[in-house]
Amino acid sequence: MMKRILCVVMVALVVVSFGLAQMAPEKVDTIMINKIKEEGFKKSQVMDFMSTFSDVHGPRLAGSPDYKEAAAWVSQKLTSWGLQNVHFEKSGPVAKGWALKRFYMTAIQPKGFPITAFPKAWTPGIKGSVTADVVFLNAKNEAELESYKGKLKGKIVLISGVRDLAAHFEAEGRRLTDAELLRMANAGLPEAGGGRRGQFGQFGQMTPAARDSMMRAMIKQTQPDADEATIARIIAQRTEPQTMAMKLQFCQKEGALVAVDAGRGDGGTIFIASATVPQPQAQPQGQGATPAVRVNAYDANAPQIVPQVSVAGEQYNRLARMIEDGQKVKVEMALDVAWTPADSSFNIIAEIPGTDLKDQVVMLGGHFDSWHGGTGATDDGTGVGAAVEAMRILQTLGIKPRRTIRVALWAAEEEGLIGSRSYVAQHFGERVGGGGGMGGMMGGGGGELKLKPEHEKLSVYFNHDNGSGKFRGIYLQGNEAARPIFRAWLAPFASMGATTITLQNTGGTDHLSFDGVGLPGFQFIQDPLEYETRTHHSTADVYERIQADDMKQAATIMAAFVYNAAMRDEMFPRKPAAAPRPARTGSN
C-alpha cells in the first residue's frame, strides 16, 4: 500500500509542477510594496481621518443632509492630497432626506428615570415636548388587538413582547482561528443560486389562521416531539414581522402618539434601522421577500406612518413589567425631525490617472452611507477610511500607475446596494428583464446582460465592508484564475496574518454589483471582532470600536493590491461566462 501511495504522490507532484510551468509567475515589485508598507504602517493618517470622519461627519444616513456635508469634507480632503477628477455621480432614488434634530425620553411617573432610546430612520416627528401615558399592547393576534380599541389615542404604545436577555458567556470580540481559516482555504466552489429560500417564505399571502395551522402541521412533521409552547414560540418568531406590521397599522388607525419596540441588543446598545411601512399585503422580510413591491419609508410614495422609536431592551422590559404590575406609567418625550430635499443620493469618485494604459481602470471602495444610530464608524467608515488611505499612500509615493486607479464611495448601500448598482448600470452594464432589479444584488440573477463599452476597460474592483477587522485573506468569488495572482500579492503580508484564499463567496455588499454583470469584484476576509455582536447597525458603531492596527493593515494591503492590479501586463482575469441556471423545480 505504502508504495502505491508514494507512486500516486509522485504523479500528483509532476502534474502540479507541470501545471505551474504553464503559467508565468505573477510579478510583484517588492521594492514598491516595501515603500507602500513603510508609508501605510509608519506614516499612517488613517486614524486622524477616522476621527473626523466618524465624530464630526457621522452618521451618514442615505439621502440625508449629514451625507452631503460629509461628502463635501471628504472630496475636499481627496483634492488636497492631489487626487484627480474628484466628483459626485448621481445614484438611484432615495426620495426623502431626513435628519434627527432633537430627541429624548424620560419616565416621570411612577418615578423619574431617563430612558435610553433611539428613533428609527425616516420616522415622522412629534410636535414639541409631550407627556403621555404608556400602554403595553400585549396582543398576539387580531382578536386580542380588538380589546385595545379606543385605548391608544395619544398614547405611547409598547408594541413588542418582553424580550429574553440572556447572559453573555462568550466574548463579543474575536478573531478568526487557524482552524476556521483552514476550513475556508479548503472550501470548494460555492453552490450556484441565491441560497435556500426561507422555509416559511410561502406564508406571506395567507390569512393568519390558515398560516398558523399550516405552520403547526409543518413543525409537527419535522419535530414530532415539540410541545405546544415550543410550537407557539417558533410560530411567533416566524411571523414576527407580520405581527409587528399588524400592530403598527392598528396604532396608526387608533391615533397612537408613538409606537415603541424593544430594540435588539442589550447593555445600552440598540440596533436600529428604518421605520417600518406596514405593507398593503404582509410581506415576509429576508429571504423569500418580494422587495420590488415593498414600500420604504424613504420612497416618494410612502404613506403617512406612526412615529417609531426603539427603547433599550432592559428598559423596555421594565416599562412593560411595571404596566403588567398595574402601575400607571407616564413618559415625557420630544422627537423633532427635519425632511430635506432629495439631493444627497450620489457616489463620490476620485482618481490617480494612469499612463500607457490609462483607459483601463482598477477600482476600490466601500460605502459612504451608514445607519444613523452610531456614527457609521465601522459600517462602513472603516471601508471608506481604508480605501481613501490606500489612495493617499499611493499618491504620497508619487506612483505613476499604468492603469487609472479610481476610488468610489457608494451611496445607499444599506437600502440595497443602490449606489454601486446604479454606477455599474451607468458605466458597465446591467441585466434587463428576468428576475427584476435584485439580480445583480444576488451576484448574477436572471435577465439579459446589456453591456456598455466601459465593461471592456474595468480590470478589477476591491471592496471593504466587514467592519474594522484586519485582512486575513480574500474571497475568490468563484474565480479560480485569481488564486495564483492573489497568492503572490498576499505573500508580502504573510507575517501580518493575511494568507487565506478561499473559493467561497461573500455577499451582502457592493462587490456584488460588479460580480452580477461579469466583472471581477472582490472582498477581503476580515476578522469579525465585535461587528455582528455589537457594532453593525447599532448605537455602538462609533470611533472606539475601530482597531487602529487593523485599519493600517487593511489600508496598506488595499494599496498594494490596487497598485499590483494597475501595473500588471494583463487585465485581471474574469470568470468564465456563467452557464444558464437550471430552472428551480419541485420542493427544493
Name the residues that contact Zn ion, by CB under 5 A: 379-380, 465
Three state DSSP letters for 44-57: CCHHHHHHHHHHHC
Q: What is the DSSP letter of 576?
A: P
Give the nearest distance from C-beta 465 to Zn ion in angstroms: 4
Q: Nearest-CA neighbor of 451 among 509, 516, 512, 363?
A: 516
Give 283 or 509: the residue with its C-beta nearer to Zn ion.
509
- Evaluate whether 504 touches 454 at the Cβ level (below 8 Å): no
Judge if the upstream peptide bond of residue 65 is cis by omega within 30 degrees of 0.
no
| Least Cβ distance, residue 42 to Zn ion (angstroms) | 29
| Kind and range of the H or E run holding 337 | strand 330-340
Q: How far is the CB of 369 from Zn ion (least distance, A)?
A: 9
Shortest distance, position 158 Cβ to Zn ion, whole Å: 30
Phi, psi of 583 (to 5 degrees): -65, 145
State the minimum distance, in angstroms, from the CB of residue 525 to Zn ion.
Answer: 16
Q: Which of 39, 515 has the CB closer to Zn ion?
A: 515
Q: How far is the CB of 62 from Zn ion (least distance, A)?
A: 12
Return the ∠ at Cα 346 (arms to 340 and 350), rounded to 5°. 140
User: Residues of 121-134 as b/e, b for ≥16 C-beta within 10 angstroms?
Assistant: bbbbbbeeeeebbb
Minimum Å distance from CB 424 to Zn ion?
17
State in angstroms the smallest separation of the CB of 537 from Zn ion.
8
Determine the Cα–Cα distance for residues 221 and 231; give it in Å rounded to an integer. 12
What distance in Å separates the CA atoms of residue 450 and residue 427, rounded to the nearest whole number?
A: 11
**CB of 509 vs Zn ion, minimal distance in Å:** 6
H-type alpha helices, 23-165: 30-37, 46-51, 65-80, 142-146
Smaller CB separation from Zn ion, 96 or 367: 367
Strand partners, 107: 113, 331
- The nearest distance, CB 467 to Zn ion, in angstroms, is 8
CB of 515 to Zn ion, least distance (A): 16
CB closer to Zn ion out of 203 and 531: 531
Confirm if 541 and 376 have CB atoms less than 8 A apart: yes
Count Cβ atoms below 10 Å from residue 223 Cβ, excluding itself. Answer: 12
Order the strands of the 308-311 sheet from edge to edge. 113-114, 97-109, 330-340, 126-136, 156-158, 258-262, 308-311, 117-119
Identity of the residue, 123 or 466, whose beta carbon is nearer to Zn ion in the bound complex:
466
**Which residue, 92, 87, 65, 91, is CA-closest to 76?**
87
Q: How many helices (H) and strands (E) does the chain have?
A: 15, 18
Of residues 45 and 466, the one with the C-beta less far from Zn ion: 466
Q: Which amino acid is at 207?
A: T
Nearer of residues 465 and 530 to Zn ion, judged by Cβ = 465
Nearest CB to Zn ion, comparing residues 417 and 490? 417
- Closest to Zn ion by CB, 465 vs 550, is 465
d(CA 560, CA 548): 19
Cell numbers that stand for 85 in this block: 477628477
- How far is 403 from 354, CA to CA, in rounded Å? 4
Between 389 and 465, CB nearer to Zn ion = 465
**What is the closest distance, in whole angstroms, from the C-beta atom of residue 189 to Zn ion in the complex?**
26
The answer to whether the CB of 453 falls within 8 A of the CB of 361 is no
Query: In this structure, which amino acid lies at residue 372?
Result: H
Spatial separation of the C-alpha atoms in residues 588 and 581, rounded to whole Å: 15
In the complex with Zn ion, the residue whose CB is nearer, 415 or 465, is 465
d(CA 313, CA 268): 8
Rounded to a whole number of angstroms, the minimum distance from the CB of residue 380 to Zn ion is 4
- Tell me the HSE value of 191 on the side-chain side, using a 13 A CA sphere: 5
Instruction: Name which of 303 and 508 has its Cβ closer to Zn ion.
Output: 508
Residue (37 or 464) nearer to Zn ion, CB: 464
